[in-house]
Structure 1
Amino acid sequence: SLQLLKMLASTIGTTGKHLRREISEIVFTISNIRDILRHGEKHPFLQKLSIDILTSLALEGDATERIGDTGGVLQELFNIFFKYGIPEDRKGVNLTVAAGEALAMLALESKSNCHRILKLKLLRRLVEALKDPLLRVNSARILRNLCIYSGSEFFHQLRGVTAATPIILQAIMSEENKIQEVMAGLSANVFKYMTSQESRISFEEARITVAELANKLVEIIKKHKCPSTNVPRIRRFTVELAIWMMKDRVENIYTFKDLGMAEALKGALETTSELENFNVFCGTVGLNRHRLTTQSLFETALELMESRQNINQCKILQNQLADLDEL
C-alpha cells in the first residue's frame, strides 16, 4: 500500500496536485507515516517509501503545513538524517539522502516549519554536517531555507550559521557542480547575518582572498554558458553572492569589473531560461518560483557595476573642471 501511495503522491500535473491534497487530508496518513519512521528501523525499505511520500506531499503548501504540524515528524526525519552519517550499507545512504531531501522540502517557503526546526536546537549539528560528504548537500539546502524563510524572530539564533562560512567558502573554491551550487546558494544568505568585519575574518580563516573568490565566481559564470538540468541554479546563486560582495564593499565592484564579470553576465543574459527561476520541479513543471527572475538578478549585478562606472566618470569630469578653474 505504501508503494501505491508513493506512486499516487508523485503523480505530475493537475491530477497529482489533487491527489496530494486528498492524501494529506486523510487524518491518519501523516501520523501513520510518522510511526513507520519512529518504529520501522528494521524495515528501511518501508521507511524509505514513507519518506518519499512525505517529500512528494510537501510539493503542496497545505500538505507541508500538515506534515510539520504533526508531532514528531520533523524530529524523526532528523533522527534518520543524522543517524546514518557514516552508513554501513547502501540502504543507509538512501535513507540519509531521502530524509535530507524531505527536510529541505518541508523548510522551503514554510516559515512555520523553519521555526519548528529551529526549536529542535539542531543548528550546530547542521553546520557540522557541512563537513560530511554524505550530509553536506542537504544540510546546505536546509540551512539556506532556514536563513531565507525564518524571518526576524530567530535572527540571533541563526547567527550560529556564520560559523560555517570558512567551510562554505572553501567548498565554493574547490568543489564543482552540485556541492558548489548549494554552497554558493547558502553563502549569500549566511553573509547577511554577519558584519563586514566578521566576513573579513571568515575569509582569513578560510585562507581565501576576496579577489580569489571573485575570480572563482566569474569562472563559474563563464563555465556555465547555458543553464544545466544538473545544476539549474548555480548561475543565479553565483550572482546572488557577487551582488552581496559588491554591496558589501565598493572596491569589490572594481575587482569584478577587472575580472570580466560584466562581459560574462552580458553573455549569460542571452541564455537565461525558466529552468533557473524555480526551486523545485515536478516532472518538467517548475514549482516554488523564485521571487526574482535570474534575468533580474543578472541585470541588477550589471547595474551595480555600471552605476559605479558612471560615478567614476562624474568624478573624473569634476576633477577636470577643477583643473580648468585653476588655470
Structure 2
Amino acid sequence: MVLVKSSLKVLQRLTSIGGEIGISLRYKISKNTFLLRNLMEIWQDNSSRQELRKLVAGIIRNLAIDANTREEIGHMQVPITSLMKAFLNLDKTSGTEVDCLLPKVAGQALAMLAIENMNNCLVMLKGPEFIKKLKHMILIHDDKYIYVAANLLRSMCQHAQAKLTESDLKEVLHTLREVLERIINAEGAELEILIGLSSQICKVIPEEFVQELEAGQNKQRFIKGLVDALNENMNPGAHCPGIRRVILEQSIYMLECNSHYASCFNEFRMMEALSIVKEAPSRAENYRIFLGDAGFMEYNTPLFSLVDRAKELMDRQSCKESVEPTVRNFRR
C-alpha cells in the first residue's frame, strides 16, 4: 500500500507539470496500455483508502486536459460513474480532511472530462437526478463545491441541452438567482465560472432568464457589473483566460433574447469597452486553461468575432430606436 501511494503521488506530480515538458509527459503516460485499467482497479479495491482515490481522481483530472484522453476515458464509463459517486458524496464514510477533499477533486476531474465532450456529458446526465444534485451544491453556500458544480452545470447546458428534461430545466432555473447574486461580488476565476454558467442558462432558457433578471430588479446592476468586469480585465491572466469571452457571450445572448437591453448596455458605455477589447486582444484568450505557460483547449470562435457580433446587435437596436421617432412623426 505504501508503494502504491508513493507511485500515485509521483504520477500525479508528473501529470500536473506545465509547459511543453508537461504536454510530452502526459502524452506518454496516457499511452500506457494498462494505465486507466490499473487506476480503476486501485479505486475499486475495497482496501483502498480515500487518499488513494483522491490521488487517482487527480491523475484522471490532469490527463483529461487532452481531448483524445477525455474521449478514451468516456468510452470506459467506469471512471466517470466512479467519480460521480465520489463527487456526490455517496461513498463518504468519515469527516476527515481527505474525505472532504475527495469529492472536490473528483468533481474537478468530472468538470475536465465534460469540457467540449458531449458523450461524457450524456454519460453524467444519466446519473439519477444529476442536475438536481448540482443545483443543491450551488445553493448550499459551500465554496468547496459551488464552483465545481457550476462548471459541470455549464457543460451540461452547453453540450447536453437536447437531453435536458423539463424537470432538469426547472432545476437549472432554480440556480439562476443564486448565480446572479454571486456574480455581483465575484472576481477572477470564480467570476469567469459563474458568468459562463449564467450565459449558458440565458442561451438554454432565454425567456426565463429575462423574467428572473427583471423580477429581481437586478438588470441595471447586473449589466453594469458585466461592463465593469470587461473594463477591469483588459489583460486576462492564466488563472482566468476566458473571462472577457464569457462576458461577451453573456452580453450577446442577452441582446439576442431581448434587444432592449442594448440601451442599458449603452448607458454604461459598453461600445467603448468593446472597442478596447478588439484593439487589445490577448493570445491567452484563445485557450480555456493554462498549465505553466502552455495553453490548452483552444476555442473555435475568435474573440474578435464575439466583439463584432455584440457590436452588430447593439448597432441594430440603436438604428431601430432612431428610426421609430421618425416613423411616428411621419404618421402624425
Q: Does the alignment reach a TM-score above 0.5? A: yes
Contact 1:58/1:106, CA 8 A, preserved across alignment: yes
> What residue number does 1:260 align with?
269
Out of 152, 168, 176, the residue aligned to residue 179 of structure 2 is 168
Is residue 140 from structure 1 mapped to residue 147 from structure 2 by the alignment? no
Out of 195, 202, 205, the residue aligned to residue 212 of structure 2 is 202
Q: What is the CA-CA distance between 1:266 and the residue it aligns to?
A: 1.8
**Pairwise mapping of residues 152-231 of structure 1 onto structure 2 (< 5 A)?**
152-154=162-164, 156=166, 158-159=168-169, 160-196=171-207, 198-203=208-213, 207-231=216-240
- Provide the C-alpha distance between the structure 2 equivalents of 1:290 and 1:23, rounded to a whole number of angstroms: 25
**Pairwise mapping of residues 1-327 of structure 1 onto structure 2 (< 5 A)?**
1-12=7-18, 16-17=22-23, 19-39=25-45, 43-83=49-89, 88-121=95-128, 122-131=130-139, 132-150=142-160, 152-154=162-164, 156=166, 158-159=168-169, 160-196=171-207, 198-203=208-213, 207-315=216-324, 322=330
Q: Once superposed, which parts of structure 1, at least 4 consecutive aligned residues long, lie more than 6 Å away?
A: none
Q: What is the CA-CA distance between 1:115 and the residue it aligns to?
A: 0.7
Question: Compared with structure 1, are the counterparts of its residues 176 and 281 closer, same or farther at alpha carbon in structure 2 (3 Å cutoff)?
Answer: closer
Moved more, 34-43 or 117-126: 34-43
Q: What is the CA-CA distance between 1:185 and the residue it aligns to?
A: 0.4
Question: Compared with structure 1, are the counterparts of its residues 16 and 180 closer, same or farther at alpha carbon in structure 2 (3 Å cutoff)?
Answer: closer
SS in 1 for 2:318: helix
SS in 2 for 1:279: strand
Contact 1:6/1:49, CA 8 A, preserved across alignment: yes
Q: Which has the higher contact order (CA 8 A, sep 6+)?
A: 2
Q: What is the CA-CA distance between 1:37 and the residue it aligns to?
A: 2.9
Query: Aligned pairs, how many?
Result: 321
Moved more, 267-276 or 108-117: 267-276
SS in 1 for 2:296: strand
Contact 1:80/1:99, CA 8 A, preserved across alignment: yes
- Provide the C-alpha distance between the structure 2 equivalents of 1:103 and 1:222, rounded to a whole number of angstroms: 32
Q: What is the CA-CA distance between 1:118 and the residue it aligns to?
A: 0.3
- Provide the C-alpha distance between the structure 2 equivalents of 1:204 and 1:264, rounded to a whole number of angstroms: 24
Residue by residue, what CA displacement relative to the aligned partner does 1:282-309 show, whole Å, maximum 9, x if unpaired?
A: 3312111122222221232122212322
For residue 150 of structure 1, what is the amino acid of its counterpart? A
Q: What is the CA-CA distance between 1:223 and the residue it aligns to?
A: 2.2
Contact 1:77/1:103, CA 8 A, preserved across alignment: yes
Q: What is the CA-CA distance between 1:114 and the residue it aligns to?
A: 0.6
Contact 2:241/2:288, CA 8 A, preserved across alignment: no
Structure 1: state its 5+ residue gaps. none
Contact 1:147/1:158, CA 8 A, preserved across alignment: no
Q: What is the CA-CA distance between 1:88 and the residue it aligns to?
A: 4.2
Moved more, 271-280 or 109-118: 271-280
Please tell me the root mean square deviation across aligned C-alpha atoms, in Å: 2.9
Q: TM-score, normalised by structure 1?
A: 0.86
For residue 289 of structure 1, what is the amino acid of its counterpart? E
For residue 86 of structure 2, what is the amino acid of its counterpart? I
SS in 2 for 1:232: coil
